Structure formats: C-alpha cells, structure tokens
Structure 1
C-alpha cells in the first residue's frame, strides 16, 4: 500500500478523498517535523517514531579489504508497539469490524 492507496482506504471513513488526503498529509508533516527537531512521536499500540544518532565506525571496502572510515549519521527509526507486533504475529486477533488500532475492538457504533 502506498500513500495514494492509504488515502483511498481512509476516504470512506473520513468523508471523502480531500479530507483523507488532508489527514494523511497533516500526520506525515507533524511526524516529520517532530522527529527532525529531535523529538519523538509515540502512538500507543502502534509504535514510536524517533531520531537516532549512529556513531562513526570503520567499514571495509569489499573489493580491496581496505578499512574505510564511515561518518556518524542521524536517521529516523520506527519501533513498533507491542500491540502492533502481536497483531502482525497473529492476524486472526484483528477485530472483524471496527478499528483494529483501538484496543478492545471498538466498532463503528462505538460498542465493543
């Protein structure tokens, strides 16, 4: 699933493609800005987006075997939450109706 597919999947739930597109764009913007500034975004049950520092290290040129210095870098990391891991390990645990991201499987009518 790519970004356009995600927007199409959200459109019926959010009242149209424009609303879904705005929601996806807003979430991506907030996550990018927060992580880029050194913060983290934790979504309970889903996971955490954060910025990590990778230390400089020495690698090897595979052709010659010569040591090659590799500079330290900053990169984003996503760590899935325990609920996300559980659902991926056992998809049968997903609720038949309603939102899978809500623990206790709340359905569209608001009951579980």
Structure 2
C-alpha cells in the first residue's frame, strides 16, 4: 500500500468507526468483531448467543488440533499440526549454541475458493489504486 493510501485510510479511521464495523476500517478482525458480525447477520441471535457460538467453535477446533486431528472446511481451508524437528540454534547475545527441542505447531492452508477470492479482491483493489494514481 502506498504511503498516500495508508495516510488516507488512517485519517478516515475515526469516521469509519461510526459507519461500519471496525475491522472493515483497520483490516484486522478480532474475536469480538467476529461475534458482532455474527450477531448482526443473524437477528435471532443475541450478542451472548453469538459469543457462545464463536467460543464453542474455536474451542472445538483447538481441542481437535491438540489431539493431532486435521480440520478441513470446504471452500475455506484446512488446519493441521506440523512437526518442527529439533535443531541447534544460536543465542544472539552470547553466540553460544543452543539445543531447540522438537515442536508441534498449528498450520493453516487456505482452500482454492478462499485463495481465488482473496486474489480477485486484491487485484480489484490494486486496479483501483493504479487508476487513482493516474488521475
């Protein structure tokens, strides 16, 4: 993003908060933003119900990953656990070698539909930005 575009986005940020959800302005969606979006889309859900639904889904996903299972959501992506083998690192302060133990870390691989949607939207935004620079 160009510095000019970034400056315009930041200057519009306070006004943006009054007219649309915060994550649309900042580009960051937090757990509470997800709860608010869910409650707004489904009027029959109270804020507390939406919060409980998000917590339940995230807890179930976390538990599955802790047990070593793979989670696949068609059109969105898959979550799995990757193994990082043990290795020898270096302490940046002293320069001495340090043994780093094996780790298991969560990994997300986006699905085809999500990758294509993100790519299309990015291309659209880049085209708008290029058009704005020409004018």
Q: Give yes or no for the alignment of 1:40 onto 2:64.
A: no
- Tell me how far 1:82 sits from its aligned partner: 1.5
Distance of 1:40 and 1:12 partners within structure 2: 30
> How many pairs are equivalent?
93
Instruction: State the 4+ residue runs in structure 1 displaced beyond 4 angstroms.
Output: none
**Superposition TM-score, scaled by structure 1 size:** 0.73
Cα-Cα RMSD: 1.8
Corresponding residue of 2:81: 51
Q: Give yes or no for the alignment of 1:8 onto 2:33.
A: no
Q: Which runs of 5+ in 1 are unaligned?
A: 94-112
Corresponding residue of 2:9: none
Corresponding residue of 2:59: 29
Corresponding residue of 1:108: none
Question: Which is richer in strand?
Answer: 1
Distance of 1:69 and 1:86 partners within structure 2: 41
- Which has more radius of gyration? 2
- More relative contact order, 1 or 2 (CA 8 Å, 6+ apart): 1
Distance of 2:122 and 2:68 partners within structure 1: 37
Corresponding residue of 1:72: 102
- Tell me how far 1:92 sits from its aligned partner: 7.3
CA deviation vs aligned residue, 1:18-70 (integer Å, no higher than 9, x gap) = 22112211110110111100101110111111122210011122334332211
Question: Which is richer in helix?
Answer: 2
